Structures are given as C-alpha cells and as structure tokens.
Amino acid sequence: MIFDVDNETLPREELEALQLRRLKATVERCYETVKFYREAMDELEVKPHHIQNLADVKLLPFTKKEQLRDNYPFGMFAVPTDQVVRVHASSGTTGKPTVVGYTRRDIANWGQMVARSLSAAGLRPGDRLHNAYGYGLFTGGLGLHYGAETLGLMTIPMSGGQTQKQLMLLQDFEATALCCTPSYALNIAEEAEVLGVDMKKLALKVGIFGAEPWSEEMRYELESRLHMDALDIYGLSEVMGPGVGMECLEGKKGLHIWEDHFLVECVDVDTGEPLPYGEEGEIVFTSLSKEAFPVLRYRTRDISVLEPAPCKCGRTHVRMRRISGRSDDMLIIRGVNVFPTQVEAVLMRTETLSPFYQIEVFRDGFMDSMVVNVEASPPLHAKGQEYMDKVAAKVQKDIKDFIGVSCRVKIQPTGAIERSMGKAVRVVDHRKKGH
Ligand code: DLL
C-alpha cells in the first residue's frame, strides 16, 4: 500500500500547506546542519524564520552542481555518515563525481515516489518490470528496482547491455513493462528486428523511459516499434534519482512533479528570476522531505515549462513539459539556439531515416558549423547514393525551416552511429577541448 497516495489528489490549498510545513523544516535543517547552506544564507542575511510562505523560497540561495562538487564527497550531508545507508554518484565525465546520500527513511520515501510513478504508468501488483537501467552508482537501476518492489511488481534486475539476452528474458519472463533510456529502447527494438523477434507478441504494455531528453516524435517511434505506450520519467541524483516526476498514462502530456516532496520553480536562465507558469526556463528544485541530502533551490540546468492546468487523471500536482534539453547541451550555432531534441524531431518525421543520430559541431575560422549524422533505413540505403543525397538536402531544408539553422546532413549506413547502453551521446562538440 502506498501510504501517501492521497497526496496526489490533495486540493491545492492543502498541498501548499503541507509544502510550507515541510519547506520550513527543510530550511531549518539545512541551516543547522550543513555548513555550506548556513554560510550561503548568512551571506544573503536570510534566516530560517524568514520563510513564512511558499513564495519566500526566492529569498533562499541557489545551489549549483559546482558547489556540490566542491564539497566532495560527504560535505553536503545533513546527517552523520553513520545514518547514511546508501550513496550514489552522478556521472561526471571529468573530475570527481557528485556524491549523494540517503538515510533509511530517504530510501523508503524514494521507493514510494517511484512506486507512485510506476502506478501512474498503469502498473499494479502482478505486473512485471524488466529493469534495463544500469545498476551501480547511477540512480536509475536501484531507483526503479526499489520502487517496483515497493509497488509489489515482479522485478527483473537486468541492468543495461547484453541486448540479445534482454530479448530472450523479455520473451521468457513475459514482462509487462520495460524501463531503460529511450535510446536503449531503440537498440532493443533494432536487435529484435535483426533476430526476427516479433515485438507484438511480447507481453509488454508500457515503457518507462527517461534519464535523457527525448522528443514527442521519439515517443511515436518507440510506440510503433515496441507496440506499447511510452511514458516519460524524470529525476536527477542531486534531487533524489528517478521518480521526481512522471507522466501519467491518462494524460500523456507532461510529467507530474511530486510536489508533496519537491518544491519546483522555473527561473530565467540568466537572471535566476522566478517565471510565471507557462514560460520556458530552468527547472529548480527544493527537496521537502529528504534527510541525508536536502537541497535548497538546486539549479538543474534542465529547460522546460511548468503547466498548472488540471489533468484528466485527477492528480493536482503541477505538470512539467518534457525537458527540451539541458542548458549545457544547448548549441549556439551562428546565434541560433538549438537543442538536440529539435533536430531529433525533424529527423524522426523523415520516414526513410532510422532514429540513430549524432550531431557534430565544428568551428571553421570564426564560424560555427553543425553536421547532423543520421543513419539511413535499409530501404533508403538500397536506393543508392544519389537518392540519399536528395533526402539529405530535403532534411537540411527542413532543419533550416523548423529550427532556423543551416547545417550539413550526412546520411550514414546502418550501424555507423555508436549505440548506447544508457544515456546516448547526442553531441560531439569539436570546439571544446577533449574532442
Ligand atoms: O538520470 C535519473 C534517472 C534515472 C531519471 C532513470 C529517469 C530514469 P542523473 O544521472 O543524475 O540522474 O542525470 C540527471 O538527466 O538533470 C536531466 O538532464 C536528464 N534527465 C533525466 N530524466 C530525464 C527525462 C538520472 N525524462 C539528468 N527527460 C537530468 C529529459 C532527463 N532529461
């Protein structure tokens, strides 16, 4: 039984009263126990008692990833380390990772949040979840695992990789739900086609896909290739892990943020000023129930829009539109802002292309240039180079028309783009060191 299931449909007034109580307690806890927060609040001359209503959250300092890293490994913990029963770390590509910790109660709450998310996807005890998120320091595998067990699902801890074995177990164990990154789900679909496994014959009814940005067009692609509903799950290790928000099966239009545990804001990327509902900006979270690793106004760098409109599922929690991208992944090509998901959307509308792509960015003198590498579907490949050149020219024009940026589209043979087991690398930026 999910103990706080009623919180999902609380009238806004009651929900906000609960949030305020929890916010006050969190701020108090951060101020009393975490040196970083105390110093940051003192610098702004804010004391815990200044938080009198939810809008007062804007008085609090922002927290950024660099600051978490500066306190590596355990400097941001708000409890003695002997109360920490688990740590995870976010995948820093360079240098030290960001370490996060959980008390026993944090783990139980996280399990509840993920159970709630899986339940929003229509899953019930008796369902079977094939979990292909990576197990380990990454929060995806264990996060979904505990949530699935909390809900009472048969949990299949497959982890990522070994795609042929994934397919064998999907057939033999008759999982009704699959969770992994959307890019890995495509690999599974591709492998199924190679091996002649008919996805229609599997018991799968829903996919719980997240951990990387993906487009609405990718949803259609996944739903048609895997023959199931594809839903978006969101989260980040610094705030908890997967299950901070989840799309519901009924609405399929943006992710409910579990507001009884997270206070969410959308702020202007440059000024940090809170934006009204409906405007696009950076998503910021303050945790409301975490013990070991509470966060105040954590800047996610994820870009989206918050929408308050009621949902047909009856949940009262605000919805966040699917993430358009991370501010660090936003490419500025000759003055035009481009997110990889926008390019993805155009590619996926072109039927003859396969959904595997990677963007390269170069600097030629003072000019930036973008090359979009995408694979041809086998029938397109069979039509020969001249025909493929025509398709490339058409896609180049579509990208210019829809996104406003000129680029070069290179159509590649099947298998040319590296397949991912977890988060796909969508951009290789040759302007940055290391590429
Ligand atoms: O990716 C947690 C997670 C695991 C979420 C499994 C969903 C499913 P991190 O490795 O810390 O944690 O990466 C967090 O991934 O700030 C986003 O940029 C991105 N991200 C996560 N979910 C989504 C999503 C996990 N549904 C970072 N859509 C976040 C777009 C997502 N981006």
Question: For 167-206, how does the pLDDT look when each residue is reduced to its tens digit (9 = 90+)?
Answer: 999 999 999 999 999 999 999 999 999 999 999 999 999 9
Please give the structure tokens belonging to residue 183: 């890019």
The rounded Å distance from CA 242 to ligand 1 centre is 7
- Which among 367, 368, 387, 366 has a CA at the least distance from the CA of 376? 387
Ligand 1 in reach of 212 Cβ (< 6 A): yes
The rounded Å distance from CA 254 to ligand 1 centre is 15
Report pLDDT for 94: 66
Q: Are 321 and 311 in contact (CB under 8 A)?
A: no
Ligand 1 in reach of 232 Cβ (< 6 A): yes
Cα distance between residue 371 and residue 338, in whole Å: 13
345-401 confidence digits (pLDDT tens): 999 999 899 999 999 999 988 889 999 999 999 888 889 899 999 999 999 999 999
Ligand 1 in reach of 237 Cβ (< 6 A): yes
Q: Which of 215, 218, 234 to mutate to test the pocket of ligand 1 (most atoms within 8 A of CB)?
A: 234
Cα distance between residue 207 and residue 39, in whole Å: 44
Report pLDDT for 433: 59
Q: Are 316 and 12 in contact (CB under 8 A)?
A: yes
Report pLDDT for 382: 87
Cα distance between residue 148 and residue 82, in whole Å: 27
Asked if the bond preceding 242 is cis, omega within 30° of 0, the reply is no
Q: Which of 302, 303, 344 to mutate to test the pocket of ligand 1 (most atoms within 8 A of CB)?
A: 302
The rounded Å distance from CA 100 to ligand 1 centre is 15
Report pLDDT for 96: 85
235-251 confidence digits (pLDDT tens): 999 999 999 999 999 99
The rounded Å distance from CA 383 to ligand 1 centre is 38
Ligand 1 atom nearest to CA at 144: 6
Cα distance between residue 261 and residue 110, in whole Å: 10
The rounded Å distance from CA 2 to ligand 1 centre is 24
Cα distance between residue 359 and residue 418, in whole Å: 12
> Across the chain, what does the average pLDDT equal?
95
Please give the structure tokens belonging to residue 324: 């358009």
Amino acid of residue 355: P
Q: What is the CA radius of gyration of the chain?
A: 22
H/E stretch holding 99: strand 98-102
Backbone angles phi, psi at 192, to 5 degrees: -60, -40
pLDDT band at 4 (very low <50, low <70, confident <90, very high): low
Instruction: Give the C-alpha distances (Å, rounded to integers) separating 9 from 6, 309, 316, 318.
Output: 6, 14, 5, 11
Cα distance between residue 185 and residue 202, in whole Å: 14
Which strands make up the sheet holding 367-376, listed edge to edge? 408-412, 367-376, 353-364, 427-429
Report pLDDT for 310: 87
Report pLDDT for 2: 44
Q: Residue 1 above 50 pLDDT?
A: no
Ligand 1 in reach of 327 Cβ (< 6 A): no
The rounded Å distance from CA 140 to ligand 1 centre is 8
Q: Which long-range contacts (CB under 8 A, 24 or more apart) does 242-245 make?
A: 242/114, 242/117, 242/133, 242/139, 242/140, 242/143, 242/144, 242/147, 242/210, 242/211, 243/110, 243/113, 243/114, 243/116, 243/117, 243/143, 243/147, 244/113, 244/285, 245/117, 245/320
Cα distance between residue 28 and residue 47, in whole Å: 9
244-273 confidence digits (pLDDT tens): 999 999 999 999 999 999 999 999 999 999
Ligand 1 atom nearest to CA at 302: 18
What domains appear along the chain, each with residue ranges and CATH number?
A: 1-328 (3.40.50.12780), 331-433 (3.30.300.30)
Q: Where are the beta strands (DSSP E) in 183-324?
A: 206-210, 229-236, 241-247, 255-257, 262-267, 280-287, 298-307, 319-320
Q: Are 344 and 373 in contact (CB under 8 A)?
A: no
Q: Which of 212, 219, 283, 330 to mutate to test the pocket of ligand 1 (most atoms within 8 A of CB)?
A: 212
Lowest mean pLDDT among 102-106, 204-208, 295-299, 329-333: 329-333
Ligand 1 in reach of 155 Cβ (< 6 A): no
Ligand 1 in reach of 241 Cβ (< 6 A): yes
Q: Residue 6 above 80 pLDDT?
A: no
Residue minimizing CA distance to atom 9 of ligand 1: 236
Report pLDDT for 366: 83
User: pTM score, two decimals?
Assistant: 0.97
> Percentage of residues in the chain with pLDDT exceeding 90?
90
Ligand 1 in reach of 294 Cβ (< 6 A): no
The rounded Å distance from CA 236 to ligand 1 centre is 5
Report pLDDT for 432: 76
Residue minimizing CA distance to atom 21 of ligand 1: 211
